[in-house]
Amino acid sequence: MSLYCYICGQPASSAEHAPAKCFFPKDNRSGILTTVGSCSTHNEETSKDDEYVRNIIAMTIGNNPVAHSVFLNNCIKSFNRSPKLLSATTKIRKRVFTQEKGKDELSSTYAFQIDRERVDLVMRKIAYATFFKKYNARWNRELAIGTEFLRNGTMEADEYGMLIQSAKKQLYIPSYEGTNHEIFKFAFLETESRDINEQILIMIFYEGFEVWAFAQPNTIGPKL
């Protein structure tokens, strides 16, 4: 653990897991000890937020075996423990139709409204901790969070989601780092700048759910 907080730089009083422990199924906890130092302010109890986001991810990519087991073993348990969490997670559920590539018929599925700010907050924390762990320095930028997996009200990827879709066609993606790739892996994409703060961080959960953190030019961070 580092001696100072990965967010504010004050002396650390505890260790923060990144990603949080709840992302790891009980039978697959290697690599869980990736910790950074955190002050008492920035180690506030965010376990409800972590569980919420973990559930969103596992429910979105449930066809991956690890995500599926997380969903069965952890999400369902956390829903049983907290019916409020279930209703908050699946609130405003609506039926939508999707068309798979190469198939004529539409299949129906359910979409649920998510608390995007909550997702972005948890992702920013993981991104800042990942940077801190790798460079032993705080990431001195505000971060914008993007993913193609969470759609807006018209079921299209948002602005950043579309940026990611087009960037992926052209980018050479470096090899991924991480202590347990089945749960979480990451890669930093360098930009033209030599400043390590000017990077894009790609994070992949359960080998499928991809989230990008974009350093915002001319900003000062970390900012949650």
Kindly tell me which of 131 and 206 has the beta carbon lying closer to Zn ion.
131
Q: How many residues bind Zn ion (CB under 5 A)?
A: 5
Kindly state the smallest distance separating residue 13's Cβ from Zn ion, in Å.
9
The answer to whether the Cα torsion of 110, 88, 38, 191 is positive or negative is positive
Give, as one character, the DSSP assignment of residue 177: E
Q: Is 200 in the site for Zn ion (CB under 5 A)?
A: no
Binding marks (x or -) toward Zn ion, 143..172, rule CB under 5 A?
------------------------------
Q: Is 5 in the site for Zn ion (CB under 5 A)?
A: yes
Instruction: Restricting to residues 94-133, name those near Zn ion by CB under 5 A.
Output: none
User: Which CA distances in Å does 194 have to 100, 189, 191, 198?
Assistant: 42, 12, 8, 8
Q: Give the CA radius of gyration of the chain.
A: 18
Instruction: Say which residues have a Cβ less than 8 Å from residue 131's Cβ, sequence separation at least 6.
Output: 137, 138, 139, 188, 201
How far apart are alpha carbons 203 and 126 in whole angstroms? 9
Q: Is residue 212 a contact partner of residue 165, using CB atoms and an 8 Å limit?
A: no
Q: Is 7 in the site for Zn ion (CB under 5 A)?
A: yes
Name the phi and psi angles at 203, rounded to 5.
Answer: -120, 135
Kindly state the smallest distance separating residue 201's Cβ from Zn ion, in Å.
20
Selected binder of Zn ion within 42, 54, 125, 185 (CB under 5 A)? 42
Q: Is 39 in the site for Zn ion (CB under 5 A)?
A: yes
Kindly state the smallest distance separating residue 12's Cβ from Zn ion, in Å.
8
Kindly state the smallest distance separating residue 3's Cβ from Zn ion, in Å.
12
Kindly tell me which of 10 and 180 has the beta carbon lying closer to Zn ion.
10
According to DSSP, the residues that pair with 106 across neighbouring strands are 99
Kindly state the smallest distance separating residue 18's Cβ from Zn ion, in Å.
14
Kindly tell me which of 6 and 23 has the beta carbon lying closer to Zn ion.
6
How far apart are alpha carbons 83 and 105 in whole angstroms? 35
CB under 5 A: which stretch of 4-12, 55-63, 150-158, 195-203 binds Zn ion?
Answer: 4-12
Number of Cβ within 10 Å of residue 141's Cβ equals 23
> Which positions lie near Zn ion, rule CB under 5 A?
5, 7-8, 39, 42
